[in-house]
């Protein structure tokens, strides 16, 4: 089913929003803003977000992908953002989102997404080999946390804890090309590494498309949990 996009109440264009709140991407935090709404809508569309879904967005920044997720008519959107500068603009978005947007000012590396969802979403849990729950994790990751975060998420997935207590929750994330190739690297590829083995044993990673116009090459990956996986594999690799 194609993702349908609904209108939010009138909001300033994203570029004006960034200027209004004096937001600049910080090199020290390896930030990279996505301000083209056609691009952010494409990310959400390829992630498969549908009406009534629950989504957790990691590192929303000024809210480009956030807007697109809300437009896709999700029932609930939790955003995890460590940078205090982005909290006021996200609160601005929350006011227009009719109670669907929930902001968590926290470090995603220390955040248990499953605990956030468990407060109200226990009825969404599914058995591991059932169809995926109507839940998603999406994010435009700062490059300095991309590798440690995906390792953390894979480990949580292998234990079926955190978000994966709900079943096979898919990930749609941005990565620098180097990291993306390690995640998806085939057996005979020079880029293949331990991360390749971890990711491909636990999931079906797929490169969706390259983000156009970026100085450093970034790719959008969909990472879909495998149906049958032995528990605790990541700790053994």
Most trustworthy range by pLDDT among 15-29, 54-68, 181-195: 54-68
Q: Which band of pLDDT confidence, cut at 50, 70 and 90, is reported for residue 74?
A: very high
What confidence score (pLDDT) does residue 27 get? 45
Dist CA 169 CA 213 (whole Å): 30
The overall average pLDDT reported for the chain is 86
- For range 7-11, the mean pLDDT: 60
- For range 200-218, the mean pLDDT: 86
Q: Which of residues 102 and 8 earns the better pLDDT score?
A: 102
- For range 173-180, the mean pLDDT: 92
What confidence score (pLDDT) does residue 44 get? 97
Whether the predicted pLDDT of 217 surpasses 60: yes
In the block, tokens 């880029």 appear at: 191
- For range 151-168, the mean pLDDT: 97
Read off the pTM: 0.87
Assign a CATH topology to domain 27-236.
Answer: Rossmann fold (3.40.50)
What confidence score (pLDDT) does residue 24 get? 63
Helix axes 177-184, 194-202, angle to 10 degrees: 60
- For range 168-178, the mean pLDDT: 95
What confidence score (pLDDT) does residue 29 get? 41
pLDDT digits (tens, 9 = 90+) for 82-114: 999 899 989 999 999 999 999 999 999 999 999
Whether the predicted pLDDT of 52 surpasses 90: yes
- Binding-site residues: 32, 34, 59, 81, 107, 140
What percentage of residues in the chain have a pLDDT greater than 90?
63
Sketch the domain layout of the chain as residue ranges.
Answer: 27-236
- For range 117-132, the mean pLDDT: 91
What confidence score (pLDDT) does residue 206 get? 96
Q: Which band of pLDDT confidence, cut at 50, 70 and 90, is reported for residue 161?
A: very high
- Binding-site residues for S-adenosyl-L-methionine: 32, 34, 59, 81, 107, 140
């Amino acid at each position: 089913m194609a993702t349908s996009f609904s209108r939010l109440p009138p909001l300033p264009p994203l570029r004006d929003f960034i200027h209004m709140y004096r937001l600049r991407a910080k090199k020290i935090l390896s930030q990279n803003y996505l301000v083209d709404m056609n691009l952010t809508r494409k990310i959400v569309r390829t992630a498969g977000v549908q009406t009534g879904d629950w989504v957790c967005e990691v590192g929303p920044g000024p809210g480009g992908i956030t807007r697109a997720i809300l437009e896709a008519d999700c029932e609930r959107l939790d955003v995890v953002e460590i940078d205090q500068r982005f909290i006021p603009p996200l609160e601005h978005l929350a006011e227009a989102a009719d109670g669907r947007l929930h902001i968590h000012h926290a470090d995603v590396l220390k955040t248990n997404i499953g605990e956030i969802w468990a407060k109200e979403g226990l009825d969404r849990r599914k058995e591991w080999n059932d169809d995926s729950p109507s839940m998603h994790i999406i994010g435009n990751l700062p490059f300095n946390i991309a590798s440690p975060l995906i390792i953390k998420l894979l480990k949580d997935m292998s234990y079926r804890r955190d978000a994966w207590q709900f079943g096979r929750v898919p990930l749609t994330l941005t990565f620098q090309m180097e990291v993306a190739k390690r995640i998806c690297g085939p057996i005979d590829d020079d880029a293949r590494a331990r991360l390749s083995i971890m990711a491909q044993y636990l999931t079906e990673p797929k490169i969706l498309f390259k983000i156009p116009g970026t100085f450093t090459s970034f790719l959008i990956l969909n990472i879909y949990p495998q149906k049958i996986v032995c528990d605790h594999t990541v700790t053994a690799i």
